[in-house]
Amino acid sequence: MSILTKLHSLLARTGALLQSPLLLVIRLYWGWQFFITGKAKLMNVDNFAAHFHDWGIPFPKLSVILAGSTESLGGLLLLLGLFSRFASPALIFVMCVAYATANKEALHAVFTDPDKFLGADPFLFLLASVIVFAFGPGKISLDALFFKDGKA
């Protein structure tokens, strides 16, 4: 076994050990952020409905309630690591709508000005949701207890 192979193996084992704690940190931080932003929408429906109307979102009040509820409930589920693979696609959808409506310029600049796209408010929310969807919530989650197939 070459030294390069041994080093690669060591790095792979170290990375595997860090996976669940990293997923936990992502879930805790971004789950809380989703909960807070969703709660803000639900506590100020009329204010946010005016913004939604300005962005051309149909049925602005209903849309605020749906987005706020999805963010709040989805955020709590991420925090707990419970039904994470169900919650994350809903959160991904909400963030895609946020890009398509409130952040149109950033969305259109994805290839021409990537910094604008990456600096838009929905980006890190979207990234965290995609990471949890792709990799699961990790071993430090309620999903790991309920879904014992190792795919939590």
Pick from 72, 70, 104: which is nearest to 89 by CA? Answer: 70
pLDDT at 2: 93
Rounded CA gap, 89 and 61, in Å? 22
pLDDT at 150: 53
Structural domain boundaries in the chain: 20-146
Is-contact 38 69, C-beta < 8 A? yes
Averaged pLDDT, 12-27: 96
Residue found under tokens 């795919």? 151
pLDDT tens, position by position, 45-90 = 999 999 999 999 999 999 999 999 999 999 999 999 999 999 999 9
